[in-house]
Structure 1
Amino acid sequence: MEIFLKQYTRVTVTLAQLEQVSAGWQEYREFAGQVERLITDMVLTPIAACGTNQANPPLPLKYRVNKLRLCTELHERIREKQLVVHSLIQLEPYFKSDESLWRKEAAWIDMLHTYLSRCDLPLHETSVWERSYEIAGDEKWISEGGGYAFLQRVGLYGKLNIVDIAEPLMFALNPGRISDPICLHLIIENKTTFDILASNLPETDFLTMIYGAGKGFLSGIGNLEWQLHLTDRQHRLFYFGDLDQEGITIWYLLNSRRPARLALAFYQALLAKEFTKGKENQRQNDKAYASFLSYFPGNDQDKLRLLFAGAGYYPQEALAASELGEIARKTPWKSI
């Protein structure tokens, strides 16, 4: 019956459920004795308002389940482990967790104890992959194998000197603009549109066209100057994404990291077309939407309001390759 209650997920249980678990292998008096013992141990608390079964001895018809009282043995094992593992490993969270988590991570606790006993806290900064390999012999254990949540749980992730290493930006480079005192960059959300625009890059004002990969570029955008080895120049960013709530939010997140103008000419070309219905499940970020809207003149703001009121959107692909190329080449981006 204890095994059943450990696996039981609700806060109350009926006498009928307990009888069903014990059916076929216990006499009633033996069953009643087991229930009464669980009541005495405060694992089960009778709900008096539900009455009893009127049997001999009578048993309450319904109980509250106190699962923590079932974990006495587990808690003793946790306390014993805390006494022998490295003092920096904090096991308190396991007192409130399911036993299955303890069974899953007990070996990781031993592994982390071995690492800390050998190295103590690392003094040098390194990537998550290198630190993961040092601890577990698997460079993906922290990022993909559950190690991040485990290290957070035992209070050690923030002490392991792990630094976030941004993904490198993917971009096409225009050598003809490498000497410009103000370097212009166009960030493009989707790959198909990026490929088309990159083929027009030499005939534009842009030094680079950066492939956004949705939000993928955001972690690396702060390293743009470093990747180009042009830290002594001014850099001006433009963004062009899908005209939907997700695209607006991506631009807003970018603009919160570093100023980025909207590539208005592309968006205005989209607004001149019929929009597509769909993406009703996308959630609107009110601050992002208001900030995005403010970049447009009044008549375009009206079109945007109608667009989203009608659950519409424009994918970048709504512009043909010829339209994309013409806008990229003929718009005076330097004067914007």
Structure 2
Amino acid sequence: MKRISLEALLRTMQDQSYQEQYEYIRKLLEEEKIKPVKASRTNGKKPALYREYWILEEKKDYSEYIEEIKYNFSTRISVDYYLTHPDVYETDRPWVLLLNEYLKEHKDALKTAESLNERSFEIWSREKFLDREQGKKILNRCGLGLEFLNIYRTTEPLAYYTHTRNTPQNLLILENKDPFFSMRSHLLSGHTEIFNMEVGTLIYGAGKGILRSFQDFDLCAEPYMTDSGNKIFYFGDLDYEGIGIYENLVERFQDRWEIKPFIPAYEAMLNKADRLENLPETKEHQNRNITSIFFSYFSNTTVEKMQAVLQNERYVPQEILNRADF
């Protein structure tokens, strides 16, 4: 609100009598165009007027929008929010109308799952509207959740090497790129086993990236990889970070998959580490919040060796192993 003096309000009424000036101010008050600033006190005349006033914004007529909200919306859209916030509807209206048209004319398209960006473009002709723009707010104000749109989120494609599609088979997830390529070369050279275990598929985990990729495992993987008879193993660095990735993977997907550490590879790492005078120091800022899930798969002797490495602020990288060890 803008503050204005009585003199400024009456500037065009200078030639009128005080009674006419008073009637003019009274009319502005009745029409709710101004409101007195009571702290400014009156002018001492009769009838009295306040010395200052607030200029009130003119109330906007939203009746046309109210009618549109009440009678033109799809029954799937909740009208409650916009009926009580017609000013917000005025801003959101172009996007709400596009959603409304989609739900009226193309509702059957929701029967088929689409990616977040695909559905966003389908409805609003903007692929990032749901992810980075105001799409989620529009949905929320319409009483709808993302799940209503039957969408899925995409992740980086799962990188893997298929040595055989026979099932059941062993799938091996590798934290880092070098072991993935080395083991791939080992299998391509005619071998079928790594540390005396047959391996049908190698999966490159890309560190913590595997946590995102595995969320869409059914979408990213070939059908043979999701066979219920398959076994999944994990092999990463012997440090807090590598163990943490494994334990996060287990906790997130334990309802569907039993993911075990690739024990012979970890034991081979420790055996080579025993022959070294110095192991690299633990990298800074690693999350040390690990549990006993990882260690529960190993013998007591192996666990003692692993914990000794960690407690001495050292770690063993996967790269300690190479093709000659497999």
Give the TM-score normalised by structure 1: 0.59
For 2:296, give the aligned amino acid. S
Aligned to 1:119: 106
Looking at structure 2, the residues matched to 236 and 263 of structure 1 have their Cα atoms a distance apart, in angstroms, of: 11
Looking at structure 2, the residues matched to 123 and 275 of structure 1 have their Cα atoms a distance apart, in angstroms, of: 53
Q: 1:227 is matched with which residue: 219, 222, 227?
A: 222
Aligned to 1:218: 214
Give the direction of change, closer, same or farther, for the CA distance of 1:146–1:294 in structure 2 (3 Å limit): farther
Deviation, structure 1 residue 125:
1.7
Deviation, structure 1 residue 159:
2.2
Looking at structure 1, the residues matched to 102 and 301 of structure 2 have their Cα atoms a distance apart, in angstroms, of: 63
1:45-60 matches, cutoff 5 A:
none
Q: Number of aligned pairs?
A: 266
Aligned to 1:188: 174
1:254-279 per-position Cα deviation (integer Å, ceiling 9, x unaligned): 33241111112333444536242334
Asked if 1 retains the 8 angstrom alpha-carbon contact of 2:163 and 2:200, the reply is yes
Aligned to 2:266: 267
Aligned to 1:173: 162
Q: SS of the counterpart of 2:294? A: helix
Aligned to 1:334: none
Unaligned runs of 5+ in 1: 3-21, 31-36, 41-54, 58-71, 330-336
Give the direction of change, closer, same or farther, for the CA distance of 1:56–1:305 in structure 2 (3 Å limit): farther
Give the direction of change, closer, same or farther, for the CA distance of 1:312–1:124 in structure 2 (3 Å limit): same
Asked if 1 retains the 8 angstrom alpha-carbon contact of 2:168 and 2:227, the reply is no
1:134-213 matches, cutoff 5 A:
134-148=122-136, 150-152=138-140, 154-156=142-144, 157-163=146-152, 169-175=158-164, 178-179=165-166, 182-202=168-188, 203=191, 204=193, 205-213=198-206
Unaligned runs of 5+ in 2: 10-34, 42-57
For 2:262, give the aligned amino acid. A
Looking at structure 2, the residues matched to 91 and 246 of structure 1 have their Cα atoms a distance apart, in angstroms, of: 49
Asked if 1 retains the 8 angstrom alpha-carbon contact of 2:73 and 2:100, the reply is yes
**Whose helix proportion is higher, 1 or 2?**
1
Looking at structure 2, the residues matched to 238 and 190 of structure 1 have their Cα atoms a distance apart, in angstroms, of: 14
For 2:161, give the aligned amino acid. A
Asked if 2 retains the 8 angstrom alpha-carbon contact of 1:78 and 1:95, the reply is no
Once superposed, what is the RMSD of the aligned Cα atoms? 4.8
Deviation, structure 1 residue 149:
5.4
Percent identity, aligned pairs only, is 27
Larger Rg: 1 or 2? 2
For 1:118, give the aligned amino acid. E
Q: SS of the counterpart of 2:264? A: helix
